């Protein structure tokens, strides 16, 4: 019996061992796979992040752009930025008329439904390479133009300003358009609340960046609306590549209020902004900023303002896809709300001729108050679709800069024939007509072919006409490769041509 029991136990152990080996050889059953599901709440391209109720869209674009008489992404040379103004000397060594930019961008859009509405975060940035962009080449740059959170009516982060109405980006390749202050191409810091009233009506109150570049160097001007107060008692004013402004440090944000309506026919908006335009310290004897300068005192704080109104119409005259947009703005002491082309203007023509001008929020000199500058403009666009694959836009407008009588006296002195107090990158003496008021016209047209909805290939031609300050004659010092001598200060014209090919994916 004991022998039989041993045989049975041994046989059972062998079977158990054999079954264990076979079980080890069998494949382990995989856990259920969480397949990605389409999120249809927010349009094409969104999908649910596995394991969450958050919808995600990843977009991108790659752009190649070639420019003639423009740079830094199609900013017209000579107009309103230190590097572009120096290119306006229009000589063999200071000016690169050909410019090339390659840009690659990526965007991430996250949205989640909550009991308070949609929680959204959005990020956009990328990389770019510029070749001869009107001054020194700038290669392999990283840029960031959007990064914000939206929740329960709040928007906070790097945004498009709620002051801006029209955007020229869908209608021209020119950088942001110097015809408006729309900062959409680069964005600005802001915290805003928007109240929705139904039927497309809304109101927004926004606190935005109007002075983080309070020291006013050229690099800082590109980061916000900027703070642009000129101290005419300083020895260097509007010298290209040098500090040009004497501002008080940033102490309050700009305050924006906007009313808007969005309907199937298009949209309309009115908005107003309050902007700090306070100066730094008075100078004595033409001295530069130095330790102890505070003993000289300073001008009383000043605040500027801006107002704007505009609209866009869709399917104009019953033509599917056609659009028409018009806006007008008026600013006092807040030039960056009227145009992105803040800073010095200089454009040389054939022979000894040139056009000059500059834009500031205001000017002052030792012992004086700040005299605020008025900048106003009107601009617009129209676009027609010849077919689903071909479109042509026409765009343009006018900007004018006006200085009051006190500002002109500070700039020009008591008598004609003297030295201008704020030369534009070049010493200007024996001026026959000292009047710093000026303006410019721009008219352009872009035609684009979209062989596929995700790719666009087009050409943009733009004419710029500067109504110069100081029309007459003046003796100019040497300016780059331009020799010293007597020059005719007169209106100048420039034609800019831009070619672009761009591939979009879920923009």
What tens digit of pLDDT does each residue of 374-413 get? 999 999 999 999 999 999 999 999 999 999 999 988 888 6
Cα distance between residue 344 and residue 468, in whole Å: 12
* Burial of residue 465, with CB atoms counted within 10 A of its CB: 0-12 exposed, 13-18 middle, 19 or more buried: middle
Per-residue model confidence (pLDDT) at position 82? 66
Lowest mean pLDDT among 5-19, 59-73, 343-357, 378-392: 5-19
Q: What mean pLDDT comes out for the span 122-126?
A: 96
Query: Cβ(314)–Cβ(323) under 8 Å?
Result: yes
Per-residue model confidence (pLDDT) at position 243? 44
pLDDT surpasses 70 at 417? no
* Burial of residue 25, with CB atoms counted within 10 A of its CB: 0-12 exposed, 13-18 middle, 19 or more buried: exposed
Lowest mean pLDDT among 10-14, 299-303, 432-436: 10-14
- Pairing of β 485-489 and β 353-359: parallel
Q: What mean pLDDT comes out for the span 41-69?
A: 94
Its CATH architecture, for the domain 72-505, is Beta Barrel (2.40)
* Burial of residue 391, with CB atoms counted within 10 A of its CB: 0-12 exposed, 13-18 middle, 19 or more buried: buried
Q: What is the dihedral of CA 205, 209, 211, 215, to 10 degrees?
A: 180
Greatest alpha-carbon span in the chain: 135
- State the pLDDT confidence band at 6, using cuts at 50, 70 and 90: low
Per-residue model confidence (pLDDT) at position 343? 78
Most confident of 85-99, 238-252, 262-276: 262-276
Give alpha helix (H) positions in 26-99: 82-87
Per-residue model confidence (pLDDT) at position 33? 55
**Among 222, 217, 226, 228, which Cα is nearest to 138's?**
222
Query: Cβ(466)–Cβ(492) under 8 Å?
Result: yes
Q: What mean pLDDT comes out for the span 212-221?
A: 49
Cα distance between residue 167 and residue 102, in whole Å: 22
Point out which residues pair with 202 in neighbouring strands. 196, 260
Domain limits of the chain?
A: 72-505
What average pLDDT is seen over the chain?
Answer: 85
Most confident of 46-55, 126-135, 229-238, 408-417: 46-55
Per-residue model confidence (pLDDT) at position 179? 86
Instruction: Classify each residue of 413-448 as buried b or exposed e, where b means 16 or more C-beta atoms within 10 Å of its C-beta.
Output: eeeeeeebbbbbbbebeebeebbbbbbbbbebbbeb
What tens digit of pLDDT does each residue of 78-114 get? 887 767 788 899 999 888 899 999 999 999 999 999 9
CA distances from 51 to 29, 36, 43, 75, 112 (A): 21, 9, 21, 46, 13
Lowest mean pLDDT among 65-74, 356-365, 407-416: 407-416
Structure tokens at 495: 């034609």
**Conformation bin of residue 183: beta by default, left when phi > 0, alpha when psi is -120 to 50:** alpha
Q: When comparing pLDDT for 365 and 258, which is higher?
A: 258
Query: Cβ(59)–Cβ(107) under 8 Å?
Result: yes
Q: What is the model's pTM?
A: 0.87
Q: Describe the strand order of the beta sheet including 371-372 as a list of residue ranges.
A: 229-231, 362-364, 371-372
Helix (H) or strand (E) holding 407: helix 405-412
The secondary structure of residue 369, as a DSSP letter, is P
Helix (H) or strand (E) holding 395: strand 390-402
pLDDT surpasses 90 at 253? yes
User: Could you identify the residue written with the tokens 């710029």?
Assistant: 464
Lowest mean pLDDT among 168-172, 228-232, 283-287: 283-287
Per-residue model confidence (pLDDT) at position 86? 83
Q: What percent of the chain has pLDDT over 90?
A: 56
Per-residue model confidence (pLDDT) at position 20? 46
Query: Cβ(172)–Cβ(395) under 8 Å?
Result: yes
HEC-encoded secondary structure of 232-301: CCCCCCCCCCCCCCCECCCCCCEEEEEEEEEECCEEEEEEEEEEECCECCCCCCCCCCCCCHHHHCCCCC
What tens digit of pLDDT does each residue of 470-491 get? 889 988 888 889 999 999 999 9
Q: What angle do CA 104, 110, 116 make, to 5 degrees?
A: 150
**Conformation bin of residue 266: beta by default, left when phi > 0, alpha when psi is -120 to 50:** left
Q: What mean pLDDT comes out for the span 195-224?
A: 75
3-state helix, strand, coil in the chain (%, to 5): 10, 50, 40
Per-residue model confidence (pLDDT) at position 178? 80
Report residue 403 CA to chain centroid gap.
Answer: 25
Per-residue model confidence (pLDDT) at position 74? 82
């Amino acid at each position: 019996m004991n022998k039989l029991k041993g045989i049975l136990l041994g046989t059972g152990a062998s079977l158990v061992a054999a079954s264990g080996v076979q079980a080890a050889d069998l494949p382990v059953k995989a856990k259920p796979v969480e397949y990605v599901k389409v999120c249809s709440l927010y349009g094409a391209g969104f999908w649910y992040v596995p394991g969450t109720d958050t919808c995600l869209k990843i977009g991108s674009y790659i752009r190649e752009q070639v420019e003639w008489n423009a740079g830094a992404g199609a900013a017209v040379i000579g107009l309103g930025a230190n590097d572009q103004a120096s290119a306006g000397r229009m000589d063999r060594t200071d000016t690169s008329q050909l410019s090339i930019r390659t840009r690659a961008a990526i965007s991430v859009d996250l949205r989640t439904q909550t009991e308070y509405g949609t929680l959204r975060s959005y990020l956009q940035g990328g990389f770019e390479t510029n070749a001869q962009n009107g001054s020194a080449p700038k290669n392999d740059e990283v840029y960031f133009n959007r990064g914000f959170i939206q929740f329960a009516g709040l928007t906070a982060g790097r945004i498009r300003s709620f002051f801006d109405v029209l955007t020229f980006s869908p209608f021209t390749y020119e950088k942001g358009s110097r015809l408006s202050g729309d900062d959409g191409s680069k964005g600005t810091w802001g915290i805003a609340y928007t109240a929705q009233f139904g039927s497309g009506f809304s109101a927004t109150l926004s606190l935005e960046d109007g002075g983080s570049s309070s020291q006013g160097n050229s690099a800082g001007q590109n980061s916000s609306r900027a703070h642009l107060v000129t101290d005419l008692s300083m020895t260097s004013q509007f010298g290209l590549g040098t500090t040009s402004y004497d501002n008080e440090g940033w102490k309050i944000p700009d305050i924006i209020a906007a009313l808007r309506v969005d309907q199937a026919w298009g949209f309309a908006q009115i908005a107003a902004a309050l902007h700090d335009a306070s100066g730094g310290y008075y100078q004595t004897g033409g001295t530069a900023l130095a330790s102890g300068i505070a003993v000289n005192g300073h001008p009383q704080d000043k605040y500027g303002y801006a107002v704007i109104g505009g609209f866009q119409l869709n399917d104009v005259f019953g033509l599917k896809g056609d659009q028409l947009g018009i806006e007008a703005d008026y600013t006092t002491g807040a030039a960056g709300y009227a145009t992105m082309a803040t800073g010095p203007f200089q454009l040389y023509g054939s022979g000894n001729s040139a056009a000059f001008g500059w834009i500031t929020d205001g000017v002052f000199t030792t012992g004086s108050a700040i005299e605020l500058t008025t900048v106003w403009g009107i601009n617009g666009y129209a676009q027609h679709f010849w077919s689903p694959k071909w479109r042509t836009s026409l765009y343009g407008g006018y900007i004018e800069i006006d200085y009051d009588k006190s500002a002109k006296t500070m700039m020009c002195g008591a008598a004609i024939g003297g030295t201008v107090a704020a030369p534009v990158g070049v010493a200007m003496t024996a001026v026959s007509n000292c009047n710093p008021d000026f303006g410019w016209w721009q008219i352009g047209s872009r035609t684009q072919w979209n062989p596929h909805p995700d790719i666009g290939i087009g050409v943009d031609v733009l004419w710029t006409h500067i109504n110069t300050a100081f029309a007459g004659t003046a003796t100019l010092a040497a300016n780059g490769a331009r020799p010293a001598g007597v020059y005719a200060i007169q209106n100048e014209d420039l034609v800019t041509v831009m070619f672009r090919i761009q591939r979009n994916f879920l923009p």
